[in-house]
Structure 1
Amino acid sequence: MKSLPCLFGGIEAGGTKFNCVLGRSPAEILERASFPTTHPEETLGAAIRFFEQAQARHGAIASLGVACFGPVDLTLDSPTYGFITDTPKPHWSNTDVVGTLSGALGVRVAFDTDVNGSALGEGSLGAAQGLDDYVYVTIGTGVGAGIVVNGQPVKGAMHPEVGHMLLPHDRQRDPFPGACPFHGDCLEGLAAGPAIEKRWGRKADTLPEEHEAWDIQADYLAALCWNLTVSYSPQRIILGGGVMKQDHLFPRIRERFRQHINGYPCGEAAECPQDYIVGPMLGGHAGEAGALLMAEAIA
């Protein structure tokens, strides 16, 4: 008798909400649930209950993948591997995500950043299919990037923290001091959703298309794309997250990116910015797709 394919669990553990899925692959999801990211005990408890109930209906999962907001500890031999470390998200600093989930569910857990999970998802099924070198950036509650080189997410002494990159800040044009509790006017402090709301007194999705906020936003994101281009030479940059649900932003970013190029030879990035700086294809499901791929890899 032919056995059914393995089942896997995936969690996109974001700073705003947790997306949980159980499926046989990113293309075959059997169940999903989403709930707000509140206190660790409440949120992780809800994730555990989801998988316990879903497994009762569909069968046991072989492994679990977690694409998690951070900063996180990804060093396998570290005593705090699998922890969220010193995060500005209230109540979540020093939370043992992997230990809590693996202990409750009795499975191996693959663990990475939320943006690396989204990058893997877009590379498998989305806007970076067929590419070995690309960057996925999310601009939402925070700013983060999954940098993929030779098909693998970049890791080092710590995972890349693109959101805390320092950018040119014209204080005459934009006197806003920034909203990052660590660095003030780093990229995240100037361009993340909370920074936009603090600067203008309104959430990003309520600002009209003609609002001056979007030209300022495009300046910062074009500078980010230029820095990523000259640092990593990616084949494509994918800009996702809640703030990027503004189609009119992409032409503005590309135009300012052309100005940064200023004739410098940088291949396809200069020739076809419309194909180089793009939005995600998987929408809000890239992270969960990547989490399932992570789970598959350790089964």
Structure 2
Amino acid sequence: MSSASFLGRALLPILLAFPMLAPVRAEAAMAPWVASEGGRMRLVALSQPRNGTITALVQIELKDGWKTYWRYPGDAGMAPEFDFSGSTNLRLKSISYPVPDIGHDEAGRFVGYHQPVSFVVELDKPGEAAPSVIDLKALVGMCDAICIPFMAEFKLPLDPAVPEGEEFSALMLAQSALPEKPRADFAVRSLMKSSDGKSFVAEVTIPDEKDVQAEAAASRGVSLGKDPVVTVDGRTARVVIPIRRIEETGTQHQITLLVKAGKRAIEATLALD
């Protein structure tokens, strides 16, 4: 499904949901849930910086039968968009995505989540003693029989004096769902363009030669083709990712490659030459 058709099908639900798009304020480090037809979303944060970094979660709970999406959604749907640019005394450092399901449904290839999901956000805090407010404008796709974009805005002041018991527990649970860090038995060894320039080719050391899957998302200016092709030879997986086009953007392009092998998964963001 194209982005245009996805948004076109979603126009009526957006208009009906418009009253829910007002900013949500919270005095503690946990914003109230904002509801949509397919589920609900909220923002949670640890108010105390760790090494100058604030950690936050964007939590999504889906209703039965609904789904949402990874960095690259597959053949339909839409990737999440998180805008923290309006935050006070905070700058976005990274957003980490839990390991998604990779498969096929009635719309084609699907990369995303059928269960509650928490995206882990790290924000630099330049002024350690100065007040901070997280300002998040979020846009995510949710699908069941229909697909709807779900928009919500959160403004969350950070108060270092507020206890962090529930928020800390939520963070620990969210981090356990992230891809593991690459290690000797499971890592991307190389990523290069094919000799004909039509694809990127990654060589990956894998711990298990069964049930190996891969998916990729690219930075702005790089359009990838569908369905990476994975071939396995012993403890090496070769991932071929088709290239549709590469545009000059003035910045170095990147690919985020996710590889699942059995019950394990890694993710690596690699610069493109």
Shorter-chain TM range is: under 0.3
TM-score (norm. length: structure 2): 0.25
Which structure's relative contact order is higher, taking Cα pairs within 8 Å and 6+ residues apart? 1
TM-score (norm. length: structure 1): 0.23
Bigger share in strand = 2
